[in-house]
Amino acid sequence: MGSSSDKLFNRERTIHEILGGNIDVMLWRKKNVSVGIVTVTIASWMVFEAFAYTIFTLLSSVLLLLLSILFLWSKSASILNRPSPPLLEFQISEAMAEEASIWLRIHVNRLLQVSYDIAMGRDSELYIKVAISLFLISLIGSLMDFQTLCHTSVLVVMTVPAFYERYEDYIDGSIVFICNKAKELYLRFEILAFPENKKKLS
């Protein structure tokens, strides 16, 4: 293993320690489960593409089938004096609603503050990061629909961590080198675009 300076973010922990101990499936330490998830993901994507299904069509069909089964079960149970389906009554408590609203308010305010800072030209580095992120999202959205994106995300989650853990030293070294070069290019761009920052950097 290389030194912490050669790692991303100068970290000293392994990818397994960072992501937690319950990611054995993602790291293919439980191969049967991992293979099953990848197989189901690929098969479901093929079914969606072959039958032109959408996620909303599938969810509606599954919910309709489930509700029909439970409805007929309850009706037949009352006629035959059998026990009803063992279902729990789900309700959202007031505390859960308050926690969700607080979480939503905090993140919306943070998003609005970031947008305001960018609009006022207070943080050029943040603007570049957001612009690149939005460009990548737009590019990905033009290449695939939401359904394909979900399937692709599952495959990425199931393959990238395991691949990274296996070739961690090589990947970290390459990314650190690229990041250092990108920082140099950004500093040059900032000096050219914002000459008043040249004195601060020197």
Q: Helix 55-80 to helix 146-166 angle, to the nearest 10 degrees?
A: 100
Give pLDDT tens digits for 53-107.
777 887 888 899 999 998 998 888 888 778 877 777 777 888 888 999 999 999 9
* 137 confidence band (pLDDT: 50, 70, 90): confident
- pLDDT the model gives residue 104: 93
In this structure, are residues 4 and 12 in contact, taking their beta carbons and an 8 Å threshold? Answer: yes
Amino acid at 3: S
In the predicted structure, residue 3 carries a pLDDT above the cut 60: no
Greater pLDDT, 17 or 2: 17
Cα torsion 130, 17, 178, 180 to 10°: value is 80
Convert 40-63 into a string of H (helix), E (strand) and C (coil).
HHHHHHHHHHHHCCCHHHHHHHHH
